[in-house]
């Protein structure tokens, strides 16, 4: 039995029927030639349903006190896990297009996970054309963030198309095999508190945290109230009200698409920016076009919450290790080059602030600055006091072609969490030569969200033309 950290437990506290707090996504595969599809699917189902040797958190169930989710929460092994409940299969109705797959995923992503069971599910989806199959995976955000979910996905894949694994990707065996790819972290010896130097170091560390966080909070307050002329963007201040800022329902709409990673990188490089800058600019242009189609483009810029991983490279165990920065999306600016420059300035200011803090200081700073948003979520007043317009997240993925027991990985499309006041979430994963976008939105608050796929392409073309480059 282990105690769930408070930072993870907050995702349980914030969850309602309208705001399921799970993350996940769709992986799309092409089966190898001369492999019988039905036989292959049955083999994977049998492998995924192995209940022996499961690792945490897949083997764990919540243990609550009489205070429920508001008291200490522990995780303990589930002695009677039903793997047929957690691992499911679904066949799409003909003609089995991506449209039908996304409709299925939309429905699956809108249902709450059962808290009396380990909080995860996998659905193996068949019925797609051209020998393609898909998996839809979801797990509660209290157990995994995007980066740790990516570690899990990578653990079930291989760069060798001939490799076949008989053990479950949820098993301790899979975890240990994957963990061996990372160097063993060096642990500093724990000093005795009787050592005066150790005591001095401890006090210096605590004082450093206090000073670093105080400085960051002063910068944050100055930017929020327009003092000092900083490019640092903050939530709330001057945020326009749009369709994205409504309270949401429990119904979801999920759509996805891939773009060439080299194409997106080249566009960002043309503006002396990063891939993340390029992605934010694409999303900004797409959201601008979407609001124009609804005749509600505001005169003030939309703002995005951009989660940033502060996880160490060798950390594959932590459930959540994320900070949040604010991106000025500059949607009020017509010129795409000027819009990109404004986005870059806000992100550079945010990154400069984070560079001056340790990981521990960033966590403290994030907890303090995000607390008002948590309060509006708990009181369902986020539509009246919206902090952001949208969440836009970028998760690093595999850099080479990967396979799942011989099936080629074609796409990794993340599905994430819309919340009250932010009715849409856009998350991207870099995958070999592509960057895969997954858009998750409230079905009622963001109608016709599929249009954003076309608008993302339009925005990319617009940015390429403004930079004088041709898309690939």
What 3-state DSSP class applies to 447?
coil
Report how far residue 175's alpha carbon sits from residue 185's, in angstroms, rounded to the nearest whole number. Answer: 16
Q: Which of the residues 84, 141, 151, 161 is marked catalytic?
A: 141
User: Which of 372, 420, 320, 417 has its CA nearest to residue 7?
Assistant: 320
Handedness of CA 392, 393, 399, 401 (dihedral sign): negative
Two tokens at 249?
């329902």
For residue 468, give the DSSP letter: T
What's the gap between Cα 276 and its chain centre? 14
Half-sphere exposure of 110 (CA within 13 A, CB side): 19
Two tokens at 372?
């008002």
User: Which of 90, 19, 28 has its CA nearest to residue 413?
Assistant: 28
What 3-state DSSP class applies to 26?
strand
What 3-state DSSP class applies to 100?
helix
> Which residues, including other chains, have CB under 8 Å from residue 465's CB and lie 6 or more apart?
none
Report how far residue 419's alpha carbon sits from residue 429's, in angstroms, rounded to the nearest whole number. Answer: 21
Q: For residue 325, what is the enclosing H or E element?
A: strand 322-328
Strand ranges (E), 31-167? 60-65, 68-77, 87-91, 120-126, 132-140
- 151 flagged as catalytic: no
Catalytic site positions = 141
């Amino acid at each position: 039995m282990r105690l769930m950290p408070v930072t993870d437990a907050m995702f349980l506290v914030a969850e309602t029927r309208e705001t399921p707090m799970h993350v996940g996504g769709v992986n799309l595969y092409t089966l190898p030639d001369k492999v019988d599809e039905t036989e292959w699917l049955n083999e994977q189902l049998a492998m995924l349903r192995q209940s022996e040797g499961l690792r945490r958190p897949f083997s764990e169930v919540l243990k609550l006190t009489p205070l429920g989710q508001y008291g200490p929460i522990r995780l303990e092994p589930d002695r009677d896990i039903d793997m047929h409940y957690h691992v499911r299969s679904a066949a799409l109705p003909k003609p089995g297009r991506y449209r039908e797959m996304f409709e299925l995923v939309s429905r699956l992503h809108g249902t709450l996970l059962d808290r009396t069971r380990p909080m995860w599910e996998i659905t193996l989806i068949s019925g797609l054309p051209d020998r393609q199959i898909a998996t839809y995976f979801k797990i509660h955000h209290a157990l995994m963030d995007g980066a740790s979910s990516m570690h899990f996905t990578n653990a079930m894949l291989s760069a060798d198309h001939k490799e076949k694994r008989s053990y479950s990707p949820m098993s301790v065996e899979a975890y240990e095999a994957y963990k061996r790819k990372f160097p063993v972290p060096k642990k500093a010896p724990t000093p005795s508190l009787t050592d005066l130097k150790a005591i001095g170091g401890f006090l210096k560390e605590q004082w450093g945290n206090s000073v670093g966080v105080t400085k960051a909070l002063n910068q944050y307050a100055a930017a929020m109230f327009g003092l000092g002329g900083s490019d640092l963007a903050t939530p709330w201040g001057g945020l326009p009200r749009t369709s994205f800022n409504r309270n949401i329902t429990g119904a979801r709409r999920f759509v996805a698409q891939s773009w060439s990673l080299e194409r997106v990188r080249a566009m960002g490089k043309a503006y002396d920016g990063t891939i993340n800058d390029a992605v934010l600019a694409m999303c900004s242009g797409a959201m601008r076009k979407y609001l124009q189609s609804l005749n509600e483009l505001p005169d003030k810029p939309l703002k995005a919450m951009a989660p940033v991983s502060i996880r160490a490279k060798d950390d594959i165990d932590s459930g959540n290790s994320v900070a949040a920065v604010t991106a000025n999306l500059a949607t009020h600016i017509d010129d795409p080059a000027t819009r990109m420059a404004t986005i870059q300035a806000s992100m550079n200011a945010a990154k400069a602030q984070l560079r001056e803090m340790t990981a521990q200081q960033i966590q403290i700073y994030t907890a303090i600055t995000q607390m008002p948003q948590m309060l509006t979520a708990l009181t369902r007043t986020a539509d009246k006091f919206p902090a952001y317009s949208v969440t836009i997240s970028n998760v690093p993925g595999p850099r080479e072609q990967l396979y799942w027991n011989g099936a080629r990985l074609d796409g990794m499309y993340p599905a994430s969490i819309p919340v009250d006041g932010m009715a849409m979430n856009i998350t991207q994963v870099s995958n070999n030569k592509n960057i895969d976008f997954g858009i998750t939105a409230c079905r009622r608050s963001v109608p016709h969200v599929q249009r954003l796929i076309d608008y993302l392409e339009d925005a990319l073309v617009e940015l390429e033309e403004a930079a004088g480059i041709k898309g690939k």
